[in-house]
A = this chain, B = another copy of it.
Amino acid sequence: MSEKQKWIDSYLAIRAYSEEICRPLETEDYVVQPIGDVSPPKWHLGHTTWFFETFILLPHLPNYQQFDADYNFVFNSYYETIGARVIRTDRGNLSRPSVADIYRYRKCVDKYMIEFVDGGFLTNDLLDIFVLGLNHEQQHQELLLTDIKYILGHNPLFPAYGSTKAAISYTAAESAYVKFDAGIYEIGYEGRGFCFDNEKSRHKVYLNDFEIASDLVTNKEYMAFMEAGGYADFRYWHAEGWDWVKRHQARAPLYWHLMDGKWMNYSLAGLMEIDHEDAVCHVNFYEASAFAAWRGMRLPTEAEWEVAADYVNWGQRWEWTNSAYLPYPGFKKEAGAVGEYNGKFMVNQMVLRGASIATPKDHSRKTYRNFFQTALQWQFTGIRLAR
């Protein structure tokens, strides 16, 4: 298969998967934005398309005609850099462009992207941004699933998205602890495939002796924390975390509902009883830390996690580490809009490692650095213990 064809196939497969994720939705589900962190599905579909149009077609495909000049105001996630605009809009208030318009937009951009690759315009210089566009769309595929879950899971009718239970649960094994000796290790991406700028460069770190759990914390273990009064005892919590507990009267992970004395869980397959063997999900950093403190342990650092990755089971939950999201030694922000991709978020967020059941198949690697603010629960996040 030609190189060109390989890229076209990759492109089409990834683009198709975004639409496949949305297949079970009603038109109305594409539109709403219950909280600021959640984007409407139609926005994800448009924004990933805007990325290819803005960074590839407009500057690099001769004679390309912009699909709609106003879409920049709707689908650009960095719009402060664009300049004055008549109306301040929130993503969840925009009924137009319609879902059908956005699918037309996707179709049009796809047509020209294939023309672009097929026509030989995808030079080595442009390969980086092209591959970034593919990975960018894969990131939004995970967000599509987490946001759809939030939208349906916060509707009083609790509609199911349609997954089978098998597809979404994960029975965590009994944890053993894997030991590592103190010494110098290397972390960070190495190799020739794609990685994000924040994974570079590969560098040495010194680690003390540590032990790390071979598997994730289960619902049963987490329930024990709840039943032991974990949400009522400030000693396990960061000061900020304790404020969060009190402000939100938190007492369980997101999507857990105590109904008629029984803990129920909203999953993509609908509302169901808690599965005790399943790995706990939808906890934030405060909850993960408090749970670890209650158990007399701690969360691993991201370096420990990466060093241990080949010896433990991972891939079901994004695992909170106790590492802040900061640049690796020698990290350089790239020039232009692409340089905004990661570096500007390197403050007040924590690193998550692994991947989740919502992560696209070929979009995980052990050097991948995910990151979120400490209060957020809506990702498929879990807990691994270390000591």
A residues lining the B interface (CB < 8 Å): 26-34, 42, 70, 73-74, 80-81, 85-87, 89-90, 92-99, 151-152, 154-157, 159, 182, 184, 203-208, 234-235, 237-242, 246, 257, 259, 285-286, 289, 293, 298, 322-324, 326-327, 329-330, 333, 339-340, 344-348, 350, 374
Contact = CB atoms under 8 A, between A and B. Distances in A.
Contact of A80 (B204, B242, B259, B346): B242
Contacts of A298: 327
A87 B87 CA distance: 31
Contact of A238 (B34, B339, B346): B346
A83 to B, nearest CB: 12
Given A285-B347, A293-B333, 20 more contacts: A28-B30, A28-B96, A28-B98, A29-B95, A32-B32, A34-B93, A70-B156, A86-B259, A87-B257, A93-B154, A95-B155, A96-B152, A96-B155, A97-B157, A206-B206, A238-B344, A238-B347, A323-B326, A324-B324, A347-B374
Contacts of A87: 154-156, 257
A156 B84 CA distance: 12
Nearest to A349: B348
Given A238-B347, A344-B237, A86 B32 contact: no
A348 B374 contact: yes
Given A157-B70, A324-B324, A32 B98 contact: no
A348 B95 contact: no
Nearest to A68: B157
13 contacts: A27-B27, A28-B28, A28-B42, A28-B96, A33-B93, A74-B156, A87-B154, A93-B155, A94-B155, A238-B347, A240-B348, A242-B344, A324-B326
A139 to B, nearest CB: 16
Contacts of A93: 32-34, 92, 151, 154-155
